[in-house]
Amino acid sequence: MTLTIFLFMSLIIAGIQTAIPFLVNRSVIFGVTIPEKHLQNETLIAFKKNYCKLVGLLSIILLAAYTLWVLFQTATEEQIVIVGILLEFVIILFSFALYFYYHGKTLKLKTDNQWTGNLKQIRVADLSARSRDEMLPWQVFLLPMIITIGVIGYTLLQYDLLPQQIPTHWGPSGQPDAFTEKTLLSAILMPLTLFVMQLMFLGIHLGTKKSGIKLSGESTEASRQRQLALRKYSSWLMFFVSFLITVLLSFFQLQIIHPDIISATAMFAIPLGFLFLILVGTIVFAVRVGRSDKFAIETIEEKLTDSDDSHWKGGLFYFNKNDPSIFVEKRFGVGWTINLANPIGYLIIFVPLIAILLFSFL
């Protein structure tokens, strides 16, 4: 079962990493903005195909070797887990190393050919795009928080029923394997940590909702469709993840109070179901957003460009103090990244993470 879980996770990771060049914004190739008329350049197409072949080939070799090792060697469950995690990191690190290699080659190709040398630099604003924005209202994110507050209240009311050793970690079998002494804080530590995570999800949602809708001067309609799709589906994915985490940790909390309320089989199956739903949701999100700007038909303005390569370091890290946006669309991958020149983004992400780390040491 452990092999099946890690193979499934690794296959999803490998599949997404392999397909990334075809899921990102169509005018961005390996983190570099490319004018529309050069998107079908044979060298650029070869770069993308070579990246996919190399990541896919390495993934197949590693997954096959991992499977054979587990099947024909007497590996313990702990060894299978450790090697499975290392396998996933190797695939991700290799894909990033390959990304940086092709990022440099793409940037050099663009510079050597002076693809933007005679183009006029512009910025496009569309005030009407906000009226088509289908992001979830922020109030929806209060629902999981209300559930968590209820779980905290119920835990305090049932404090006497709690065991003297409070579980703090559950193993692959769904059974607790780490404990701490019973106190008021340790009794509500898990739902309290969950509440902080929910605040972070809410902060990210508000930050992305307030971020600007960036449109391309060359293909305005295609970029509008992608931006609206990204905003819509990312808000749904964040709520979906927040709700699933709430359900999962609430189950664990109730199981601490009432050990017999959930069977051992359910305790094993629930985390697997959670993992499966998260992965499916992520795939749907990546495909929906990735395809949103690929089929728009419009007249391309070839004398304009809106390249902001100078604000992207390595095509991954965005620094622009003149941009009030807290989050911007990734250039490699599907989703959002922080505007590192805006301190509010640091507060939204790192304050909750620091709070969670502090809770774990109490």
pLDDT digits (tens, 9 = 90+) for 38-47: 888 899 999 9
Domain residue spans of the chain: 1-118, 122-362
One-letter amino acid at 156 equals L
198 vs 249: CA distance, rounded Å: 12
Lowest mean pLDDT of 50-54, 267-271, 328-332, name the range: 267-271
pLDDT band, very low/low/confident/very high, at 304 (cuts 50, 70, 90): very low
Q: Dump pLDDT digits (tens) for 213-252.
A: 777 666 677 778 888 888 899 999 999 999 999 999 998 8
- What is the share, in percent, of the chain residues with pLDDT greater than 90? 27
Distance, in Å, from the CA atom of 350 to the CA atom of 203, rounded to the nearest integer, reads 11
Instruction: Give the position of tokens 């359910």.
Output: 266
Place of tokens 């303005």: 301
Q: Answer yes or no: is pLDDT of 262 > 80.
A: no
Three-state DSSP state, 245: helix
* Model pLDDT, residue 122: 59
Long-range contact list for 49-56, CB < 8 A, 24+ apart?
Answer: 50/102, 51/21, 51/98, 51/99, 51/102, 52/18, 52/19, 52/21, 52/22, 54/98, 55/14, 55/17, 55/18, 55/91, 55/94, 55/95, 55/98, 56/14, 56/18
Contact present, 333 and 24 (Cβ < 8 Å): yes
Q: Which residues pair with 313 in a beta bridge?
A: 317
Give the pLDDT of residue 121: 58
Lowest mean pLDDT among 109-113, 155-159, 300-304, 348-352: 300-304
Distances (CA, A) of 75 to 56, 69, 72, 78: 26, 8, 9, 8
In this structure, are residues 129 and 213 in contact, taking their beta carbons and an 8 Å threshold? yes
Give the DSSP letter of residue 174. S
Joined together, the tokens standing for residue 117 give 């040398």
Q: Which amino acid is at 224?
A: R
Residues 202 and 141 sit within 8 Å (Cβ to Cβ): yes
Q: 3-class SS at 28?
A: strand
pLDDT at res. 316 = 86
pLDDT band at residue 161 using 50, 70 and 90 as cut-offs: confident
The segment with the largest mean pLDDT, out of 30-44, 110-124, 188-202, is 188-202
Phi, psi of 119 (to 5 degrees): -100, 145
- Comparing CA positions, the residue from 291, 331, 328 lying closest to residue 100 is 331
The letter for the amino acid at 223 is S
Residue 123: pLDDT band (50, 70, 90) is low
User: Does residue 55 surpass a pLDDT of 70?
Assistant: yes
Distance in angstroms (rounded) separating the CA atoms of residues 198 and 4: 30
Average pLDDT, the chain: 84
pLDDT at 3 over 70: yes
